[in-house]
Structure 1
Amino acid sequence: MDLTRLDHLTQDDLWDARAASAYDTPGRGMEAPEVLGPTVDRLAELAGDGAALEFAVGTGRVAIPLAERGVSVTGIELSAPMIGRLREKVGEQTLPVVHGDMATTRVEGEFSLVYLVFNTISNLLTQDEQVACFRNAAAHLRPGGCFVVELWVPDLTGSAGRESARVGVAQDGYVLVDVLDPVTQRLTSHHFRFDQDEDRRAATVSRTPHRYVWPAELDLMAQLAGLHLESRHADWAGGEFLADSGSHVSVYRR
């Protein structure tokens, strides 16, 4: 599969009204209490008595409960439909959002916390864009503030040749197949969803491109932005980061 065929897709194409309408999963998945609770707890702790800025705030999955904890939260979001979905939940005074991309858009004010959750930095498809994202985060931070990144750890075990495909999830009604290109560090997720109430031979297919990043590469990006790694854990609850950890929560301090 030629991954360059996805290059013409913009983030606006990927995160359109259809994606925004299906993004929220109340009580399950990313919004399950055991996932969302520790995330908000840790972010509130890191924000302290200062303000927080969420890059790619989406529909407010994390930002809204964080604001309900008393943290002043602002968001940056590229997708207008995602902002529209957020606005169905809270108003501008409760959670201001600036329409723009997380690599270059500036927000007025100074923040004690900037954060990126659920692998979102991988939506930036080049190393230059990811470095710019770190620099943008650092530019928003007050002295002593921190930038938090949640990201999966690339697992290339068994990869052979230039490209390799693997099944990431196989369950009733949904199959995820990832196609990766180690040369460009591109991973394209193919989502196959089967309607359980209709003909199971029919499926909807969507694709999302990512650029995967090693923890060490993130650390170097942080150094280029004037930040240093303060801590790295396997999850939001503070689990120890080990060689076989599938993801990490990294805190970079200015």
Structure 2
Amino acid sequence: MLRREMWDDQVAQGYDSPGTGMFAPEVLGPTVDRLVELTEGGRALEFAIGTGRVAVPLAERGVPVSGIELSQPMLDQLRTKADEAAVPVVVGDMAAVRVPGEFQLVYLVYLVYNTLSNLLTQAEQVACFRNAARHLEPGGRFVVELWVPELRALPPGQQAVVWESAAGYIGLDTYDVLRQQVVSHHFRFDAEAGREASLLRSPHRYIWPAELDLMAELAGMKLESRHADWTGEEFTAESRSHVSVYRTAATL
């Protein structure tokens, strides 16, 4: 399945969950607070801006935000919240498309589908880093939020890991460790009615933090900081995700 096909009208229309999940204040608030801090009064660019979960509140905080988005249905949902003047968006691939101007901050936020890992080859992921660098002002930052592959939870001979089990939802990943690929399976169902479950699958190429650092080096950026989340929690061997901040040289 092509990435553009995965983000269809059905997914886009059911994506937002105001006040809960990824949209809960305790999740979204620290994200926006940290991004405001990192822009240092400059402009921000979001790769894979989606329905504007982060971009809209960031713009409401006074940060000029632009975006790149591959899916027209996701962009259509964004347009119900903010027009082109408020949040300009270029339609296309975040690994290749150029947005006019330069930015103090380019960011990729971690969603259910792990945006950067939706690029399924190492070459595409490196190209994404290089495209971010092309958009940055001297001294600008590229922020990547991503999950840490849970291979330690994968016993020999087993290919799947259940990473969440809740009322009406089961999330599991199937790994191909030879090719560094994973497919996330999202099962949603009515736990009481016993009706047939719906399934959404999303393919990824998983990336270790050290590999990300090398991609940044290839794009002319260096790691400035890494934390376990947006609140600044220490990143450890037990962390399931990370927020990594990369920076270009102050003079180019």
TM-score band by shorter chain is: over 0.9
Residue 186 of structure 1 aligns to which amino acid in structure 2?
Answer: Q
CA–CA distance in structure 2, aligned partners of residues 224 and 163 of structure 1: 34
Could you say which residue in structure 2 is the equivalent of 1:208? Answer: 202
Question: Per-residue deviation at 1:196?
Answer: 4.7
The TM-score with structure 1 as length reference comes to 0.94
Inter-partner Cα distance in structure 2 for 1:155 and 1:140: 32
The reply on whether 1:251 has 2:245 as its aligned counterpart is: yes
CA RMSD of aligned residues (A): 1.2
Q: Distance in 2 between matches of 1:76 and 1:39?
A: 19
> 2:131 maps to what in 1?
136
In structure 2, the residue matched to 1:14 is 6
Q: Percent identity?
A: 64
The letter for the 1-side match of 2:18 is P
C-alpha distance in 2 between matches for 1:230 and 1:193: 39
Q: How far does the alpha carbon of each residue in 1:51-71 deviate from its partner, in whole angstroms, 9 at most, with x for none?
A: 000000000000000001110
Partners of 2:201 and 2:156 lie apart in 1 by 22
1:227 maps to a residue whose letter is M
Does the CA contact (< 8 Å) of 1:163 and 1:182 recur in 2? no
Cα separation, 2, equivalents of 1:96 and 1:27 = 25
1:43-82 → structure 2 map (5 Å cutoff): 43-82=35-74
* TM-superposed deviation, 1:161: 5.1
1:102 matches 2:94: yes
- Tell me the TM-score normalized by structure 2: 0.94
The superposition leaves residues 31-83 of structure 1 with CA deviations (integer Å, 9 ceiling, x where unpaired) of 11111001000001111121000000000000000001110000000000000
Deviates more, 1:173-182 or 1:79-88: 173-182
Gap regions ≥5 residues in structure 1: 1-8
- What CA distance in whole angstroms lies between the structure 2 residues aligned with 1:162 and 1:185? 16
Residue 171 of structure 1, CA deviation: 1.6
The CA deviation string for residues 76-111 of structure 1, in whole angstroms up to 9 with x for no partner, is 000000000000111100000100011000001000
Contact kept? 1:232, 1:250, Cα under 8 Å: yes
After TM superposition, give the deviation of residue 159 of structure 1 in Å: 2.5
1:3 aligned residue = none
- Structure 2 distance, partners of 1:182, 1:120, is 20
Q: After the TM superposition, which of the residue ranges 87-96 and 153-162 deviates more from structure 2? A: 153-162
Count of residue correspondences: 245
SS in structure 1 at match of 2:14: helix
Q: What residue ranges of structure 2 are gaps of 5+ in the alignment?
A: none
- 1:1-254 correspondence runs (5 A): 9-118=1-110, 119-160=114-155, 164-196=159-191, 198=193, 200-254=194-248
Once residues 17 and 103 of structure 2 are traced to their aligned partners in structure 1, the CA distance between those partners, rounded to angstroms, is 29
